[in-house]
């Protein structure tokens, strides 16, 4: 009997030792999670997605050692709503983070809109599961609600134990040598209006002095007072954008106001590596939200002039180097096999972003359209790479529809948490697909919004392999024949700048990923059947939507002095604590 038990035990040990490495998932119940998100990076800017002129060896290494998704979709084509969906696993209009107007992102640190406190981010659930949670880099989900320090929208109020970075987003206004970027067209109108009012006031004063115009000095004084008040009303905000928006924070404290851009990259990298080192003995979540590759394309001297794509290419190559530094930090601490690493972009590259002949936005490869375009693939199809040695099969490519919203249920399940039961979660757990335990994505339909306006719907017809995409609304490209809205700098979601299609434009992305030639009833026998199926899916989807407060309403996005984060006594907001250190 003893010999039998010994033999049985020995056989069991050999059986366990001979198990393939994919079973390690059952051993590592709470892996470390490192989420790397680029800003405005086009899918065509990365080597493993077909670019052979911008060098991205570290991102490419992630793909070689892990799983690369070729149909990874952002829930929105702009920063604020896309990141809200990423953090909550829900379409952004469910949380009020998509706009009914042309203000489609958070515009000011001193606005009152932002990710609602009643939304449950994946960071909050992982925090409850015992994870150390950190956000380094860009936030862009709002700061305050009612006072300058209530921090109702702040990362620390959404499940992050530690925050270092920009509560806003990087913009060209943060770099004094660059032309202003924020609300540029509106600013021109304000300047023009101010000049016209001043000219009217000066004309009235000269007319009174010469007696050519019968106007009283009281009227001239009123005009002068109105001119001054009008100028102050807008210049107090737009005239000081670097002080109001270009700030750096550590947790609740402002460290730089305005930020010193020459050292920003080094500080973000230092903070990321430090977070890994501090938390190596317990499960951690690090969300490194890069400021790269958003304009003004902050690039250190070491990388300037290295790429064949000018400043934009230099910036992407520097970001790739930062990815490598973070991966090296994980490996140095011996955490490689216990860490899930994910890399993506928040949406597609910005085609229209140019200064003269300089192209400052990204490239979206073979895909049509770009940033701000809710339906076209170029605005929403992004890189998506996972690496977890021993758990995810290396060198795998998956061509199934997936979403940035899928990260939410994926990391929650890995951490041993439970999804909220009181709300709709639109994301799906990706682990079965990533490990090859299932063949198809759980997504049958994905809905592509531009603001609150439904522009397109994707139907994954699993049994046939077809990926049908119906466009109800598309932006009007100008000039004619161009691939973007170069006349505006941004494609709109509604109004005269869009075209409504009835019947919708229909494409099969499995045959025409570039959306080059729309199908018709004459060229596609299933045309009517597909559109009816998609139409019914839209009706069902809309029944799941409930009214919520609009976080990006005009009132919520305007600058409010009483909400302005300030490291001094408002309006004297200036500090450099990093320099002091």
pLDDT tens readout for residues 228-250: 999 999 999 999 999 999 999 99
Q: Is 79 a catalytic residue?
A: yes
Q: Kindly list the distances between the CA atom of residue 276 and the CA atoms of 135, 138, 316, in Å, as whole numbers in the listed order.
A: 12, 18, 23
Give the Cα separation of 61 and 321 in Å (integer): 12
Q: 71: part of which helix (H) or strand (E)?
A: strand 67-73
Single out the residue of 323, 305, 302 nearest to residue 314, CA to CA. 305
Instruction: Return the pLDDT at 28.
Output: 63
Eight-class DSSP state of 405: G
On whether the CB atoms of residues 531 and 507 are closer than 8 A, the answer is no
Residue whose token pair is 């309403």: 553
Instruction: Return the pLDDT at 579.
Output: 81
User: Could you read off the pLDDT of 469-524 as tens digits, one per residue?
Assistant: 999 999 999 998 899 999 999 999 999 999 999 999 999 999 999 999 999 999 99
On whether the CB atoms of residues 383 and 345 are closer than 8 A, the answer is yes
Give the Cα separation of 89 and 428 in Å (integer): 8
Single out the residue of 352, 349, 384, 346 nearest to residue 370, CA to CA. 349
Instruction: Return the pLDDT at 178.
Output: 87
Residues near 171 by Cβ (< 8 Å), separated by ≥ 6?
A: 181, 182, 241, 245, 246, 294, 295, 296
Instruction: Return the pLDDT at 406.
Output: 98
3-state secondary structure of 491: coil
Among residues 3, 48, 140, 567, the one annotated as catalytic is 140
On whether the CB atoms of residues 77 and 379 are closer than 8 A, the answer is yes
Instruction: Return the pLDDT at 12.
Output: 44
Tokens of 283: 């499960």
* Ranges in the chain, pLDDT < 50: 1-6, 8-27
Q: Is 541 a catalytic residue?
A: no
Torsion of CA 256, 257, 261, 266, to 10 degrees: 10
Among residues 15, 48, 72, 79, the one annotated as catalytic is 79
On whether the CB atoms of residues 336 and 28 are closer than 8 A, the answer is no
Cβ-based neighbour number of residue 272 at 10 Å: 25
Give the Cα separation of 4 and 359 in Å (integer): 74
Cβ-based neighbour number of residue 447 at 10 Å: 19
% helix / strand / coil in the chain, to the nearest 5? 35, 20, 45
Question: For residue 198, with 0-12 CB atoms within 10 Å meaning exposed, 13-18 middle and 19 or more buried, which class applies?
Answer: middle
Instruction: Return the pLDDT at 580.
Output: 73
Give the Cα separation of 501 and 335 in Å (integer): 52
On whether the CB atoms of residues 42 and 362 are closer than 8 A, the answer is yes
Cα end-to-end distance, the chain, whole Å: 71
Tokens of 542: 């809309």
3-state secondary structure of 412: helix
């Amino acid at each position: 009997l003893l010999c039998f038990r010994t033999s049985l035990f020995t056989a069991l040990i050999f059986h366990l030792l001979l198990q393939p490495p994919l079973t390690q998932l059952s051993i590592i119940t709470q892996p470390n999670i490192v989420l790397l998100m680029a800003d405005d990076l086009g899918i065509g800017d990365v080597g493993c997605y077909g670019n052979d002129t911008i060098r991205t060896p570290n991102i490419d290494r992630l793909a070689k050692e892990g799983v690369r998704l070729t149909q990874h979709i952002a829930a929105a084509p702009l920063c604020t709503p896309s990141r809200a969906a990423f953090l909550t696993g829900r379409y952004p209009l469910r949380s009020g983070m998509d706009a009914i107007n042309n203000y489609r992102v958070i515009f000011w640190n001193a606005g009152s809109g932002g990710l609602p406190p009643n939304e449950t981010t994946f960071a909050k659930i992982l925090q409850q599961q015992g994870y150390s949670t950190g956000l380094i880099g860009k936030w862009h989900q709002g700061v305050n609600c009612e006072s300058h320090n209530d921090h109702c929208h702040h990362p620390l109020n959404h499940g992050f134990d530690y925050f270092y970075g920009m509560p806003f987003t990087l913009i060209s206004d943060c770099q004094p040598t660059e032309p202003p970027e924020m609300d540029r067209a509106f600013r021109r109108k304000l300047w023009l209006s101010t000049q016209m009012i001043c000219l009217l006031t000066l004309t009235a004063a000269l007319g009174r002095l010469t007696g050519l115009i019968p106007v009283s000095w009281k009227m001239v004084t009123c005009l002068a007072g109105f001119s001054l008040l009008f100028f102050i009303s807008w210049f107090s905000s737009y005239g000081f954008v670097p002080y109001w928006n270009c700030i750096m924070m550590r947790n609740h404290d402002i460290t730089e106001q305005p930020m010193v851009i020459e050292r920003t990259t080094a500080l973000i990298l230092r903070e990321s590596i430090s977070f890994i080192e501090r938390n190596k003995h317990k499960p951690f979540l690090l969300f490194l939200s890069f400021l790269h590759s958003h304009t003004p394309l902050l690039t250190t001297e070491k990388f300037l002039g290295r790429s064949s794509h000018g400043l934009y290419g230099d910036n992407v190559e520097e970001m790739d180097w930062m990815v490598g530094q973070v991966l090296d930090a994980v490996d140095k601490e011996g955490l490689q096999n216990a860490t899930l690493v994910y890399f993506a972009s928040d949406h597609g590259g910005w085609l229209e972003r140019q200064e003269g002949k300089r192209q400052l936005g990204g490239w979206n490869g073979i895909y049509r359209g770009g940033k701000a375009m809710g339906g076209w693939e170029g605005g929403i199809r992004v890189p998506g790479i996972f690496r977890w040695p021993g758990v995810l099969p290396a060198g795998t490519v998956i061509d199934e529809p997936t979403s940035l919203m899928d990260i939410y249920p994926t990391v929650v399940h890995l951490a041993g948490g439970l999804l909220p039961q009181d709300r709709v979660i639109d994301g799906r757990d990706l682990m079965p697909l990533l490990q090859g335990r299932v063949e198809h994505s759980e997504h049958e339909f994905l809905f592509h919004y531009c603001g609150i306006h439904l522009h397109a719907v994707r139907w994954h017809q699993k049994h046939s392999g077809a990926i049908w995409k119906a466009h109800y609304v598309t932006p009007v490209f100008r000039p004619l024949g161009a691939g973007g809205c170069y006349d505006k700098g941004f494609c709109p979601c509604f109004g005269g700048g869009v075209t409504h299609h009835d019947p919708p434009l229909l494409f099969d992305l499995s045959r025409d990923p570039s959306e080059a030639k729309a199908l018709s009833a004459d060229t596609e026998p299933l045309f009517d059947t597909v559109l009816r199926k998609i139409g019914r899916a839209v009706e069902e989807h809309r029944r799941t939507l409930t009214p919520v407060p609009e976080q990006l309403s005009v009132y919520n996005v305007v600058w409010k002095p009483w909400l302005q984060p300030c490291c001094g006594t408002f309006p004297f907001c200036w500090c450099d604590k990093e320099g002091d250190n």
